[in-house]
Amino acid sequence: MEEPVIIRFEHISKSYGEFCVLHDFNLEVMRGEFLTVIGSSGSGKTTVLKMVNGLIIPDGGKLFVDGQDISGTNLIELRRKIGYVIQNIGLFPHMTVWKNIAYVPSLLNKQDKERTKKAVARLMDVVGLSGDLMRRYPSELSGGQQQRVGIARALASNPYILLMDEPFGAVDEITRKMLQEEISRIHKALNVTTIFVTHDIREALKLGTRVLVMDAGRIEQLGDPDEIIHHPATDFVARLTQSRGLE
Ligand SMILES: Nc1ncnc2c1ncn2[C@@H]1O[C@H](COP(=O)(O)OP(=O)(O)O)[C@@H](O)[C@H]1O
Ligand SMILES: [Mg+2]
């Protein structure tokens, strides 16, 4: 049987000079879960996320991804199996939507163009992009459409982990709601382990099967949305959940 824990932080620490971002940080992410990470700005959310794909290396402790200590793994290989979506997604501006999404599949199926075509069509369908957009350039898309292309590109290598860092931070409220529905649907359909960072408590509670609340590099609470709402572990969590609907 596959080990249920897919990512394990063990006594992880990280400092910049005198400033300690994470101190004795411990976390287990379960295979297939949708973990949302919420906390104040500077609390270490992005640091935690970027450690999973080796963009930030811990100073101390151990980090296991799929049973492997990542200090001993090839980070390029690791990243190939991990999708990464950020706010301003960095689509290739001189490439069409089709080429942006086809980039990874065409590397994988060098000899088989039909296979790439099929993969791109499937990915566009998965993220809810209509086929007639495929010849457009990123600058000819709305913010929400660009974000969908970014998600399609992140899914193109069939990742077993999807990391998302405030992916819907730059889109309007209506688009954000649609993208939230979309990412929930994608998660259910593909069952890909997802870590989703947000600073919006409503988004965290809506999307997460579990929610991790952080403040100043520490875990304030880790629990399902119901526990977070009804049994806040600290004043910080209580204040956070009370702020729902006040914005
Ligand atoms: N390269 C860096 N050099 C110095 N300090 C950094 C660097 N990267 C992040 N930090 C600091 O580490 C803290 C945590 O950053 P981050 O994980 O990006 O927070 P969050 O994503 O929760 O807003 C912040 O106080 C930030 O200023
Ligand atoms: Mg951040």
Q: Is the pLDDT of residue 214 over 80?
A: yes
> 45 CB less than 6 Å from ligand 1?
yes
* Atom 27 of ligand 1, nearest CA residue: 42
In a domain, 140, yes or no: yes
Q: Which helix (H) or strand (E) holds 82?
A: strand 82-86
Joined together, the tokens standing for residue 144 give: 């929400």
In a domain, 64, yes or no: no
- What residues make up the domain containing 102? 91-158
Q: Give residue 99 CA to ligand 1 midpoint distance, Å.
A: 33
**CA–CA gap between residue 184 and residue 203 (Å, rounded):** 11
* Atom 16 of ligand 1, nearest CA residue: 44
**Sorting pLDDT into bands at 50, 70 and 90, what band is 245?**
low
In a domain, 235, yes or no: no
Query: Scanning the structure block, which residue is given the tokens 């824990």?
Result: 5
**44 close to 53: Cβ distance less than 8 angstroms:** no
Residues 147-185 have pLDDT tens digits of 999 999 999 988 999 999 999 887 888 889 989 999 999
In a domain, 167, yes or no: no
**Ligand 1, closest atom to CA 39?**
22
Burial of 197 (0-12, 13-18, 19+ CB in 10 A): buried
**35 close to 209: Cβ distance less than 8 angstroms:** yes
Q: Supply the pTM of this predicted model.
A: 0.93
**Ligand 1, closest atom to CA 44?**
17
Q: Which residues contact 90 (CB under 8 A, 6 or more apart)?
A: 150
DSSP category for residue 243: T
Q: How many domains does the chain have?
A: 1
In a domain, 122, yes or no: yes
Q: Is the pLDDT of residue 247 over 80?
A: no
Residues 75-108 have pLDDT tens digits of 998 998 999 998 876 789 999 999 999 998 888 8
Give the residue from 210, 213, 154 showing the smallest Cα distance to 7.
Answer: 210
Give the residue from 11, 57, 6, 64 showing the smallest Cα distance to 32.
Answer: 6
Partner residues linked to 41 by β-bridges:
none
**CA–CA gap between residue 153 and residue 165 (Å, rounded):** 15
**Ligand 1, closest atom to CA 40?**
22
Q: Give residue 243 CA to ligand 2 midpoint distance, Å.
A: 20
Ligand nearest, relative to CA of residue 14:
1
